[in-house]
Amino acid sequence: MIETIATTPYDDQKPGTSGLRKKVPHFRQPHYAENFIQSIFDAAGSDGGETLVIGGDGRFYNREVILIAIRMAAGNGYGRVIVGQGGLLSTPAASNLIRKRGASGGIILSASHNPGGPDGDFGIKYNIANGGPAPEKITTAIFEKSKAITRYRTWTETAPDISRLGETKLGDMVVEVVDPVADYASLMEELFDFEKIRDLVASGFTLRFDAMHAVTGPYATEILQNRLGAPAGSVINGTPLEDFGGGHPDPNAVHAATLINQMMSEKAPDFGAASDGDGDRNLVMGRGIVVSPSDSLAVLAANAHLAPGYAVGIAGIARSMPTSRAADRVAEARKIGIYETPTGWKFFGTLLDAGKVTICGEESAGTGSNHVREKDGLWAVLLWLNILAERRESVKSVLESHWTEFGRTFYQRHDYEEIDSEVAGELMGSLHDRLASMAGQRFGTLVVSEADDFSYKDPVDGSIATGQGVRIVFSGGSRIVYRLSGTGTKGATLRVYIERYEKDPAKRDQNPAAALKELIDTADVIGEIKKRTGRTAPDVVT
């Protein structure tokens, strides 16, 4: 029976870059999750009888909220929910299921790279019928609904057991529990030449994939070990844990340090990779080299035609604004479209749906294609493996020949975490105030050619997003970008993105910190970071 429960609004349910993220105790306040889920349903609207996909990254509190969401779906007239067994679905696998099964949307429970556990982070995200994150029009509507909510609807009986595969019913609604991996793994088999990759692995090519105790473990084990023949032990930390083993499932220099160190050692495997909490991001490494995510996007775009799924070539590339322009040089050379969007995958959906782009990527180690409407960590790993299987070269040699052909874009992102929100706001405010007078100013050898706050008009649906990050461009094309993170749950995180293009192959082997030295120093001068925050160095450099 449908039950209507009275509730009162919370005023802080505004989705950020990727859904609503808060600390677990915050989510455990009375009706907090219910309010947000009802606001999603209210914003999405329904004629009744639709299909909804539900899954999450397995973090602490995942199961509880999944059971709440199933009952509320029944209470709100859905005809069927498709749930990953045990409540697990990686973000790209959820996107695939939404598309494949013609669902009207999906609820993905994840705070991605943020740590989990009773005091860790939790998140809820809504994806629409194309499989992609809800666009701003819908996230704004969800927030508006959440501020005015007076009741939510649920189903009287409790949700069925989600640990067993198969169909059961909750009222009139079918609850279908599916293998989280199967459909995703077949999609990967369609896109990539598994036989070629198997041959590569059989020839002695070694790999290590760190699933960081998060959701990708079962996917990587099935695909890399069972289907592609990598020996047991190639996938490490492959069992999803509610607290990610106490770790921070972010595949960057700090949190994936163990694997990075192994890759730099004498006994390194040929290929190394790691993924984040919900499986949508990736870090790719070769023996003795870490591929910067912006370079990875460029290399994947330049070589995608080597994989069967992209053999006809790619229509275009989209990258988020702070992502380096390495991909732009590929697009220019191949005479295909290049689009610059705000941060967050929700801005790629219209371009992918319209067929304007095939491959998208972000500097934060997210890459993906039109096969789903999310970034996809394992997809990137498999495309790399397919490229290596075709070219029979090392990761390092693929990257170096890319730099020789296109030039090298030196790039770093500096994160200052948990700074005081007010201080962060003032820092950005001061940058805004100085934007108009910035052009022509000189900093050492650097002269500002343009400075603005990035706004985006979606070329497909005309929607506009403003305030997407401060860009300072210098003559010659070097660039510093400042923006505040929209995924944190404590204080503010300032991200500073620094880039410089080097065409001369003789200068391409420098270390990025050295190649970017003057820009890094200038980023502090212009951003007044030390002066305002007291921080003398970033917490994370990627």
Residues 268-307 touching ligand VG1, rule: CB under 6 A, are 276, 280-281
Residue 366 is a binding residue for ligand VG1 (CB under 6 A): yes
325 binds, among ligand VG1, Co ion, none (CB under 5 to 8 A by kind): none
- Nearest of 50, 93, 55, 18 to residue 373 by alpha carbon: 93
Residue 376 is a binding residue for Co ion (CB under 5 A): no
Residue 145 is a binding residue for ligand VG1 (CB under 6 A): no
Q: At what angle do helices 377-391 and 182-191 cross, to 10 degrees?
A: 30
Residues 318-337 touching ligand VG1, rule: CB under 6 A, are 320
- Nearest of 350, 328, 373, 347 to residue 466 by alpha carbon: 347
Residue 280 is a binding residue for Co ion (CB under 5 A): yes
90 binds, among ligand VG1, Co ion, none (CB under 5 to 8 A by kind): none
Minimum CB separation of residue 529 from ligand VG1 in Å reads: 17
- Nearest of 250, 279, 284, 317 to residue 485 by alpha carbon: 250
Minimum CB separation of residue 256 from ligand VG1 in Å reads: 14
216 binds, among ligand VG1, Co ion, none (CB under 5 to 8 A by kind): none
Binding flags for Co ion, 112-131, as an x/- string (CB under 5 A): x-------------------
Residues 181, 209: Cα–Cα separation, whole Å: 17
The verdict on whether 394 is a catalytic residue reads no
Residue 345 is a binding residue for ligand VG1 (CB under 6 A): yes
Q: 3-state secondary structure string, 280-308?
A: CEEEEEECCEEECHHHHHHHHHHHHHHCH
- Nearest of 127, 69, 73 to residue 96 by alpha carbon: 127
Residue 489 is a binding residue for ligand VG1 (CB under 6 A): no
| CA of residue 393 relative to chain centroid, distance | 28
Q: Which of 13, 18, 369, 522 binds ligand VG1 (CB under 6 A)?
A: 18
Minimum CB separation of residue 139 from ligand VG1 in Å reads: 13
Helices (H), 221-288: 257-264
Minimum CB separation of residue 322 from ligand VG1 in Å reads: 8
* Binding residues for ligand VG1, total number by CB under 6 A: 18
Residues 60, 279: Cα–Cα separation, whole Å: 16
Q: Which residues, 6+ apart, have CB-to-CB distance to 414 below 8 Å?
A: 495, 496, 497, 498, 520, 523, 538, 540, 541
* Binding residues for Co ion, total number by CB under 5 A: 5
Closer Cβ to Co ion, 276 or 458, answer by number: 276
Q: Which of 278, 363, 458, 499 binds Co ion (CB under 5 A)?
A: 278
Q: Residue 55 in contact with residue 93, Cβ under 8 Å?
A: yes
Residues 112-131 touching ligand VG1, rule: CB under 6 A, are 112-113
Q: Residue 390 in contact with residue 299, Cβ under 8 Å?
A: no
Residue 374 is a binding residue for Co ion (CB under 5 A): no
Q: At what angle do helices 32-44 and 62-75 cross, to 10 degrees?
A: 40
Secondary structure tally for the chain: helices H, strands E: 18, 27
Annotated catalytic residue: which of 104, 110, 112, 294?
A: 112
**Interacting span for ligand VG1 (CB under 6 A) from 211-219, 300-308, 361-369, 397-405:** 361-369
Minimum CB separation of residue 503 from ligand VG1 in Å reads: 27
| DSSP string across 88-134 | E--HHHHHHHHHHTT-SEEEEE--TTS--STTSEEEEEEEETTSSBP
Q: Which of 362, 376, 458, 499 binds ligand VG1 (CB under 6 A)?
A: 362
**Interacting span for ligand VG1 (CB under 6 A) from 54-62, 169-177, 341-349, 439-447:** 341-349
Minimum CB separation of residue 493 from ligand VG1 in Å reads: 6
Closer Cβ to Co ion, 278 or 328, answer by number: 278
Coil vs helix vs strand at 72: helix
Token pair belonging to 359: 């491959």
Residue 495 is a binding residue for ligand VG1 (CB under 6 A): yes
Residue 474 is a binding residue for ligand VG1 (CB under 6 A): no
Residue closest to ligand VG1 when measured from CB atoms: 112
Helices (H), 192-292: 194-202, 216-220, 257-264
Residues 227, 223: Cα–Cα separation, whole Å: 5
**Interacting span for Co ion (CB under 5 A) from 200-208, 217-225, 272-280, 405-413:** 272-280
Minimum CB separation of residue 16 from Co ion in Å reads: 13
Amino acid code (one letter) for 452: D
Minimum CB separation of residue 19 from ligand VG1 in Å reads: 8
Q: Are strands 2-6 and 207-210 parallel, antiparallel or unpaired?
A: unpaired
Minimum CB separation of residue 39 from ligand VG1 in Å reads: 20
Residue numbers of the site for Co ion (CB under 5 A)?
A: 112, 276, 278, 280-281
Q: For binding to ligand VG1 (CB under 6 A), which residues are involved? A: 17-18, 112-113, 276, 280-281, 320, 343-345, 362, 364, 366, 485-487, 495
Active site amino acids: 112
